[in-house]
Amino acid sequence: MSPHEFHLQIGRMLDEIADGVFIMKVENLELTYYYVNKAATRMTGIEMSDAGQTFFERNSPAMADYLYKKYVRVVMERTDIRYEDGVVMPNGTMSGESMLSPIFGESGEVEYVICLTRDITERKNYENLLFHYAYHDDRTKLYNRRFLMEKMMSAEALFLLDLDYFKNINDTFGHDAGDAVLVEVATRLSVAFKADYTLVRLGGDEFIAAAGTRVEQPESMAFVIMELFRAPFRINDQQIKLNCSIGIALKQGHEDIQTLLKQADIALYKAKGAGRKSFHVYEATSRYDHVENFIHELALSSAIELEEFELHYQLIYSPQQQCVVGAEALLRWNRANIGMVQPAEFIPITEQTGLIVPIGYWVIRKACQDWHQLVEGYGEDIRVSVNISSVQLSEPDFVDRIIEILEQENVPPHAIELELTESTVISDSQGVRQTLSRLGAVGFSIALDDFGTGYSSLSMLTLLPIDTLKIDRSFIREMNESVLSAMLVMAGALRMKVIAEGVEDAGQYEMLRAMNCWGIQGYYINKPVALAALQQVPV
């Protein structure tokens, strides 16, 4: 094969490569095109007929400058260089990863620079398509909730609008008609709001208009939104009047999207409570307790299904035995898009609504499942404490249900301690006594929580099958040695164990240890944490 035929065959082989091949000739830091394969021509429009021309003769000034610096660096550093940053090529394609290598002549100077560049336009188009599907609502083509929560780092204002009585449209005309209305709402919003606003279909019949710049007159913008609904909506050749309610949250400091969305949600419920077809601007100085409770109530009803609940544990340490003897299970609610909700904010709601019953059974089952792991870390004698409310205790099949749960989870009753407050045990002393007696007969341990803050009497303590008294943290904080000593003596006479709650420092611990207090619980031992974060106690 002659040299000419060899070069032709090499050229045909290079033309079959999917990556672009560029060879630049180097003379005194001047670079000219020497060879390009077909893939390179498709990427850039540069052809073999352009051989001998420089970057500046065949590209725009900005592109030529970029390419020249890129190739000259290889010449100067005399080594391979990989570039991962892509640029848009003159024909609109996106340059992908490039590998540039110097080719040395006999004298040791760089005579050529060869570059392999991958065209990633097709991959980028595919990624853009995936992005669209992931972050856009299929029905309205607006952005979706996922985009709002994952891609919007901040906003100056959120306008959360909800269509009033939209359910009536679905029920009367069908979901196809309802979908058509949602699309029309999205269209009207898109016409009214320009580049400074991001439009989101939050879900159902809720939409968000997120402002990227400061909104000086949110009330005026609310009227603009409501004006969009002045014209009737056409459904099956009928004209339907539709209104909306709007909740508005304004950025005052460093509020993130989650915080603003929560505020807008509260403001929306306030607007709906005022009779709908209205708006409300969230005010940080106002109290929205009833609104917060209502929102929490709605979310709590599905929190188990959404797996938003979790248990944290605070260990109970026995100075006498010098080991961990128990762990109190504390319910935590990690609400989607909101974050951790304080127990004081949602526990009372669960009791008022009766949701504490299914949630309470979930807690017992989860605590039983976690007990097996606690045994691995602290031994078989460890006991898990679970708080029980009066609402749960009054359930007619409460005892049978928890026995069934323990059997299903293969946990012995003596491994579970049920904690009740004083107000719970005095609310129905006769009924409570019977229930606790049944529980005690099976093997459950019963603890009286927050002892000393309620209306406990010696007669009540002698009548009820109480195994453990948990002294309220207020007594520990005051550290009145005489009062604590009296409590310990009384508990000892009644053959009850005592756990001191709220122990926060070494001084409190040492005093209680010297008084032979059976159990210690508090921040000095550990703060409540998830099961996986529990460690051995360094006491």
Q: pLDDT digits over 222-257, tens only?
A: 999 999 988 888 887 788 888 899 999 999 888 888
pLDDT for 449 equals: 87
- pLDDT(454) > 80: no
Same domain, 192 and 236: yes
Mean pLDDT computed over 122-149: 76
66, 95, 120 - which closes a domain = 120
Whether residue 538 lies inside any domain: the answer is no
Same domain, 326 and 404: yes
Which position has the higher pLDDT, 428 or 173? 173
Whether residue 211 lies inside any domain: the answer is yes
pLDDT for 418 equals: 95
Q: Are 464 and 433 in contact, with CB atoms under 8 Å apart?
A: yes
Which position has the higher pLDDT, 238 or 476? 476
CATH number for the domain that contains residue 392: 3.20.20.450
Same domain, 21 and 158: no
Whether residue 364 lies inside any domain: the answer is yes
Average pLDDT, the chain: 85
- pLDDT(208) > 60: yes
CA nearest to 246, candidates 231, 275, 215, 225: 225
pLDDT for 287 equals: 61
Same domain, 371 and 421: yes
pLDDT for 344 equals: 86
CATH number for the domain that contains residue 30: 3.30.450.20
Q: Are 72 and 81 in contact, with CB atoms under 8 Å apart?
A: no
Regarding beta strands 244-250 and 445-451, do their DSSP bridges make them parallel or antiparallel, or are they unpaired?
unpaired
Band the pLDDT of 57: cuts 50, 70, 90. Answer: very high
Mean pLDDT computed over 436-459: 80
CATH number for the domain that contains residue 187: 3.30.70.270
pLDDT for 194 equals: 74
Whether residue 85 lies inside any domain: the answer is yes
- pLDDT(538) > 70: no
pLDDT for 414 equals: 95
The string of DSSP codes covering 451-490 is ETSS---HHHHHHS---EEEE-HHHHHHT-HHHHHHHHHH
Q: pLDDT digits over 256-280, tens only?
A: 888 899 889 888 888 887 776 789 9
Domain coverage including residue 401: 303-533
pLDDT for 429 equals: 64
pLDDT for 461 equals: 74
Band the pLDDT of 370: cuts 50, 70, 90. Answer: very high
When divided into structural domains, the chain yields a total of: 3
pLDDT for 472 equals: 87
96, 120, 144 - which closes a domain = 120
238, 256, 286 - which closes a domain = 286
Same domain, 426 and 513: yes
Same domain, 420 and 389: yes
- pLDDT(3) > 80: no
Same domain, 404 and 500: yes
Whether residue 293 lies inside any domain: the answer is no
pLDDT for 94 equals: 60
Whether residue 440 lies inside any domain: the answer is yes
Whether residue 81 lies inside any domain: the answer is yes
Same domain, 396 and 446: yes
Q: Are 159 and 216 in contact, with CB atoms under 8 Å apart?
A: no
- Count other Cβ atoms within 10 Å, centred on residue 356: 24
Same domain, 112 and 140: no
Q: Which residue has the tokens 């069934």?
A: 404
Mean pLDDT computed over 336-342: 81
Same domain, 97 and 156: no
- pLDDT(92) > 80: no
Same domain, 457 and 325: yes
Band the pLDDT of 34: cuts 50, 70, 90. Answer: very high
Q: Which residue has the tokens 């792991």?
A: 373
pLDDT for 177 equals: 84
Whether residue 44 lies inside any domain: the answer is yes
Same domain, 141 and 49: no
Band the pLDDT of 405: cuts 50, 70, 90. Answer: very high
